[in-house]
Amino acid sequence: MEGARFVEVVANRGDLRWPLPKDFVQRLKGQTVSGLGRRAKYLLADLSSGDVLVMHLGMSGSFRIERDEGGAAPGAYYHERSKNTAHDHVVFRMSSGATIRFNDPRRFGSMKLVARAKIDEEPLLHALGPEPLGNEFDAAMLAAACAGKKTSLKAALLDQRVVAGLGNIYVCEALFRAKLSPKRRASTIADRHGKPNDRAEALVPAIKAVLEAAIKAGGSSLRDHRRTDGSLGDFQHTFLVYDREGQPCPAGCKGTVKRIVQAGRSTFYCPSCQK
């Protein structure tokens, strides 16, 4: 997409998590993508018009990229990789020859156009906490965000205002690596003055390590996630506790991985070594 122009935009269904803007197709067609970025779980494409195309995969959304190799005429697509093209809700045909399909069976995904000049005021983005892999995210920042919080540490880490873009699987895995109980009060990673203690110092590198490992493995293919070429991510093979209820603790503490539900989401942890 980067450097390429939208030659054709097809919006098969506008009723995604929220409706596509009425002028969605007109505002994209003919525009060039000047840059691609990401903020939390939002994908951002800067356009030559000054708009930003904001995209979110939701629960089951994916992008599939098909290249116009073999000299196929525009429009002559091949579908052998896609299971169900009925869920291809938005299709971009780019001047680079690539066709990009947004497929989302459950339609929790979404797209929105926001003026770049107003992106800081965008409600979806403005309350987001720091990027977990950024330099500014450190023990001091995390401790300050959790200080005084009476919620569980698990719930605090899932709160996008505390740290952006961290999902359920990665919170479970990071807490296991840091040997911290998901049930512990969030405020206990800070001292009385909101300064980080040893727990915060252990947690931040654990979060970064889990995310870096997951990115390297191409993400986690638990249900619907696919890489853009349609292949599966591999990180689920390296889960230490997630989805491993009843299995021996991989830290070798002789404990057993347990599943509990916190705020409607499954938490997997080892009650023996996560304190």
* In the complex, minimum distance from the CB of residue 253 to Zn ion, in angstroms, rounded to a whole number: 3
Report in angstroms how near the CB of residue 203 gets to Zn ion at its nearest.
17
DSSP per-residue string spanning 184-251: SBGGGGB-TTS-B-HHHHHHHHHHHHHHHHHHHTT---SSS---TTSPPP-GGGG-SSTT-TTSBPTT
**Phi, psi (5° rounding) for residue 246?**
85, -10
Q: Tokens in use for 153?
A: 């540490």
Nearer to Zn ion, 6 or 176 (CB): 176
Of 124 and 251, the one with the shorter C-beta distance to Zn ion is: 251
CB of 184 to Zn ion, least distance (A): 15
| Nearest CB to Zn ion, comparing residues 125 and 251 | 251
Contact indicator for 19, 90 with CB cutoff of 8 Å: no
Q: Find the shortest distance in angstroms from Cβ 268 to Zn ion.
A: 12
Task: Name the site residues for Zn ion (rule: CB under 5 A).
Answer: 249, 251, 253, 255, 270, 272-273
d(CA 192, CA 189): 10
CB-wise, 91 or 153, nearer to Zn ion?
Answer: 153
Taking the complex as a whole, how short is the minimal distance between the CB of residue 214 and Zn ion, in angstroms?
A: 21
Is residue 2 helix, strand or coil? Answer: coil
The three-class DSSP label of residue 33 is strand
| CB nearer to Zn ion: pick between 26 and 247 | 247
